[in-house]
Every structure is written in C-alpha cells, then in structure tokens.
Amino acid sequence: MTASAAASPFADIRRLAADLPAPGVFVPPADGGRLAEISAWLTAWTGRTPPSVNRPVVALYAGARQGIGPRGYARDRLETIAAGGASISRMAGSQGAGLEAFDLAIDRPTPDARQKASMSEKECAATMAFGMEALAKQPDLLIPGVIAAEAHRDAAAIALALFGGEAADWAVGEVAADVAAAVERARGEGDLSDPLEALRQLGGRETAAVAGAILAARVQKIPVLLDGYAASAAAAVLHAIDPDLIAHAVAAHVGGPGHARLLAALGKAPLVSLEIEDEEGVGGVSALALVRLACEVR
C-alpha cells in the first residue's frame, strides 16, 4: 500500500474489507429447493442448527439530494415511520422485527450528482462508518433500506459506473439522461474503476450508509436481506471490491428492470417478486416471512 493510499479516508474501510471471517459450511438437501437453500444460508452464517431468526432489524437510512423529489420528502417519511403510519412500521411489527431509522443530515442535501460529487472521501468514509451503527442492536439478520426521494437515480448511476452498458439499461425515460450526465461528469473527475470513488461521486449518504452496514454485517457474519434497488447498488460497490464482501447477502425481492439487471450482475436471485419499487424495507420484511418458514425445513 502506498503512503497516499494509507492516508486516504477510505484506508480503514479497505482494511476492514480485506480481513474477513469465513462462513461455516452447510450443504442443503438436494431435493429441498429454494427453502433448503435459505435454511443452509442461515446456518452457514449464524452457526445455528436448526437455523432461526430471533432478532431481525430493519435499518433505514434517510438522505436528501438537491433538486430531487418534493421538498421535505425524507423528513415527512421519517416522521410517518416514527409515528407508526408507514407500511413498514406495521409490517416490521407484525414480523417481530426491530425498526431503526437514521437521519443522515437530510436538512443538508447532497449536491446534484450531474454537477458535483455527492461527498468528499472523508464524508463518504464517515457515512459508511455511521451506517455500521445498525449493528449495535446485535441483530441476527439485517434488512437495510433507504428513505430518499427517487432513490433509483443514484442506484442506476452506480450500476452504470460499475457495470457499464447504456444508461437506459439501468433507468428509464428522462431519468436515464440524468444518470448518463452524472456518470459522464464523475468520469471526468475521478477514477470510477475504484468502487469507493464511484460511491462517493454518485451515491447519496443513504447509499454509503447501507454499504457500511452491509460490510459490518459481513465482518460479524450476520446474514443480510437486500431490500431494494438502492440497497443492491450499495452491495454492488462492495461486490466490485471483492465479491466475497456480499457472500452473506441474499436479494429479498426485485422491483423494476434496472434492479433486476443489477441483481443478475451480482448473481443474486430474489426470494420474491413483488413488482414494487419500495426502498423502505417492505420487500425485505416480506421476504423475512419466507426466511422464517425456511427455518422449518429439515
């Protein structure tokens, strides 16, 4: 490692990613199908036989971006969730899942990614570290998601930067043009072959926090259900560093075409297809019910 790399704000993140525990090994019955695969996945990461999920936590990270979505959107959603008025509030309760919502400086939106990098290296690394706080509750399964207006924009931009193709492969309509403009600007300013540079250029704080949470869960061998397009984009950043960084993660569900394409690129088959583009944990908690049923497969 060069002196400049060691001094980078991302140095601690890279060190963490380079020192990973191995999962246990458990081979599912050949005739058990997807339910047996889920059961084996839980056993491999938790070490429990038979597997169980006792302390699931939904961790939602709220962020805002200049010029995107209704003014105050993230604040309104945070308040609704806290008051128990959101679908995820009720669904998490029905599944016995903890629900944590984190305010990532939503009153100080990140810049328009078409014009300027979302974060400095220091802010991005600090936000990833903050995202790791979701593990303080010691969950035995983590469902990370985001609270952000039009979160698919950032997800599509990260996917385009990491996997290439055309913007229309990852987003539709006018959003695709905005995604292309953001990635073109970022390529002119940074080395997008570095996944963490792509994250800090194109991702919002919420995406960086989810990436941090997924990484911390990998270090602690806690299984993860990837909720939506944004969470999958955060996982894609880690995958681009080392595919083993998301070996503990399973795709909960699939939303739109861009999300489906990204999951295919990651080699993650979704547990359910709900045909919704919710990013606030609804898909993850829906899949949690299936995961719990899979715990009964022997």
Which DSSP string do the residues of 158-212 spell out, in sequence order? HHHHHH-S-HHHH--HHHHHHHHHHHHHHHHHS-TTSHHHHHHHH--HHHHHHHH
Q: Which of the pair, 28 or 258, is modelled with greater confidence?
A: 258
Average pLDDT estimate for 244-255: 96
25 within some domain? no
Q: Does residue 5 have a pLDDT over 80? A: no
36 within some domain? no
Average pLDDT estimate for 230-247: 98
Helix (H) or strand (E) holding 238: helix 229-241
Q: Which residues of 236-272 are buried (b: 16+ CB within 10 A; e: fewer)?
A: bbbbbbeeebbebbbbbbbbbebbbbbbebbebebbe
Encode pLDDT of 74-125 as tens digits. 999 999 999 999 999 999 999 999 999 999 999 999 999 999 999 999 999 9
Residue 297 backbone class (left: φ over 0; alpha: ψ -120 to 50; beta: rest):
beta
Average pLDDT estimate for 265-281: 93
Encode pLDDT of 155-210 as tens digits. 999 999 999 999 999 999 999 999 999 999 999 999 999 999 999 999 999 999 99
23 within some domain? no
Instruction: Identify the three-state secondary structure at position 254.
Output: strand
Question: Looking at residue 3, what is its pLDDT?
Answer: 47
Q: How far apart are CA 225 and CA 240, in angstroms?
A: 19
Q: Does residue 30 have a pLDDT over 80? A: no
Question: Looking at residue 277, what is its pLDDT?
Answer: 83
123 as an active site residue: the answer is no
Between the alpha carbon of residue 118 and those of residues 49, 115, 141, 166, 202, the distances in Å are 44, 9, 30, 21, 6
Q: Across all residues in the chain, what is the average pLDDT?
A: 94
CB atoms inside a 10 Å sphere around CB 2: 7
Q: How far apart are CA 120 and CA 31, in angstroms?
A: 50
Q: How far apart are CA 220 and CA 41, in angstroms?
A: 15
287 within some domain? yes
Question: Looking at residue 179, what is its pLDDT?
Answer: 98
43 within some domain? no
- Whole-number percent of the chain with pLDDT over 90: 89
Encode pLDDT of 207-223 as tens digits. 999 999 999 999 999 99
183 within some domain? yes
- Domains in the chain, number: 1
Place of tokens 């570290």: 129
296 within some domain? no
Model confidence band, residue 25 (pLDDT cutoffs 50, 70, 90): confident
Task: Give every CB contact of residue 15 below 8 A, 6+ residues apart in sequence.
Answer: none
Least-confidence region, from 1-5, 231-235, 287-291: 1-5
| CATH at residue 276 | 3.40.50.10210
Question: Looking at residue 72, what is its pLDDT?
Answer: 94
17 within some domain? no
- Whole-number percent of the chain with pLDDT over 70: 96
Place of tokens 């704000």: 9
Enclosing domain of residue 247: 55-291
The residue annotated as part of the active site, out of 174, 277, 280, 296, is 280
